[in-house]
Amino acid sequence: MVNIPQKVADRLAAGVKKFQPILTAAQSHDANESDTVIIITDMLSEIFGYDKYTEVTSEKCIRGTFCDLSIKVNDVTQSFIEAKAVNQELKENYVKQAVDYAVNGPVDWVVLTNGIFWRVYRVIFSKPVDHELVVEINFLALKHHDPADLETLFLFTKESWVKSALNDFYDQKQALSRFSIGAVILTEPVLTIVKRELKRVSPDVKIDIEQIRTVLEQEVLKREVVECEKADEARKRIARAANKALRSKAEKSSTNEDASISVQEPPSEIHSPEIPASKPPPPD
């Protein structure tokens, strides 16, 4: 659950109430793209908290082409926005256009919007470059008193960038994706647990881990979950996390051993017991 400052929550709620009638009116008279961009710019300022004079740039030139809007926080460009007319359908090729801007930026995030629908994409700098839809809202369907709607809306705000809330949301979505869960199910520790539970049910049946893996891959999990680029990426991500955990455990163990050795320091100096000098013989 996102912790939204009360001041920001009030601003979001007020913005929903103010701009829903404006967008509905723009829909009814079929506002063109230029007029829609004016509304979007006002929304970026009044709802999402950006200074439209210093943090919102229109017609930003990127290697000879012009992006409709860009967002800058602390003098760093955070996202490019591709804006369309209020009644225009947001097609896939528009996303590619925005992603091309981001690659030349370079910027990790792009937004596609017609004022009503807002879609945020994460740019994936792979070969070839890809993109992934992270969050989408229908602004006219939002309820200004619904905490869940305000949490989603918060992800678009300036405060969200400062708190890395959108990155955190993306990481959570990645962790709970079907590709990540599928990859985790096929890891050795999970397969070992499955084998143990199956042996409890059928103690006299010979079962090995590879048999379980084959059944899961071919009969339980969908092929698209285990045989695609995203599945490969999920497996790599989980393997990296596992290796990192092992290294951390090894370093911690090494540190504890060093600490134990340092406690058992040898005495700094060994003193031999003093032998009393012999008495001189008595005089004759």
pLDDT in tens, 12-54: 999 999 999 999 999 999 999 999 999 999 999 999 999 999 9
Q: Is residue 278 part of a domain?
A: no
Q: For residue range 214-223, what is the model confidence (pLDDT) as tens digits?
A: 888 888 888 7
Does one domain contain both 157 and 189?
A: no
Does one domain contain both 208 and 142?
A: no
Does one domain contain both 150 and 197?
A: no
Q: Is residue 24 part of a domain?
A: yes
Listed in order, strand segments (DSSP E) in the chain are 56-62, 65-73, 76-83, 109-113, 117-124, 130-138
Q: Is residue 1 part of a domain?
A: no
Does one domain contain both 142 and 208?
A: no
User: What percent of the chain has pLDDT above 90?
Assistant: 32
What is the CATH classification number for the domain harbouring 70? Answer: 3.90.1570.30
Does one domain contain both 99 and 159?
A: yes
Q: How confident is the model at residue 270 (pLDDT cuts 50, 70, 90)?
A: very low
Residue 151 or residue 184, greater confidence: 151
Instruction: Write down the pTM of the prediction.
Output: 0.67
Q: For residue range 112-153, what is the model confidence (pLDDT) as tens digits?
A: 999 999 999 888 877 777 788 889 999 999 999 999 999 999
Q: Is residue 246 part of a domain?
A: yes
The domain of 247 spans 178-251
Q: For residue range 29-39, what is the model confidence (pLDDT) as tens digits?
A: 999 999 999 99
Does one domain contain both 10 and 148?
A: yes
Interior/surface letters 38-54, b for 16+ CB within 10 angstroms, e for the rest = ebbbbbbbebbbbeeee
State yes or no: pLDDT of 281 exceeds 60: no
Q: For residue range 218-261, what is the model confidence (pLDDT) as tens digits?
A: 888 887 777 766 777 777 777 777 777 777 777 777 766 666 55
Q: For residue range 190-212, what is the model confidence (pLDDT) as tens digits?
A: 988 988 888 888 888 888 888 88
Does one domain contain both 16 and 147?
A: yes
Last residue of a domain, one of 135, 163, 191: 163
* Distances in whole angstroms, Cα of residue 192 to Cα of each of 5, 28, 138, 178, 241: 45, 61, 44, 21, 19
pLDDT of residue 63: 57
Does one domain contain both 152 and 78?
A: yes
Counting the structural domains of the chain, the total is 2
Does one domain contain both 38 and 129?
A: yes
CA angle 7, 13, 16 (to 5 degrees): 140
Unique residue bearing structure tokens 């908290």? 49
Q: How confident is the model at residue 272 (pLDDT cuts 50, 70, 90)?
A: very low
The distance in angstroms from the start CA to the end CA of the chain is 104
User: What percent of the chain has pLDDT above 70?
Assistant: 81
Helices (H) and strands (E) in the chain, counts: 11, 6
Does one domain contain both 12 and 136?
A: yes
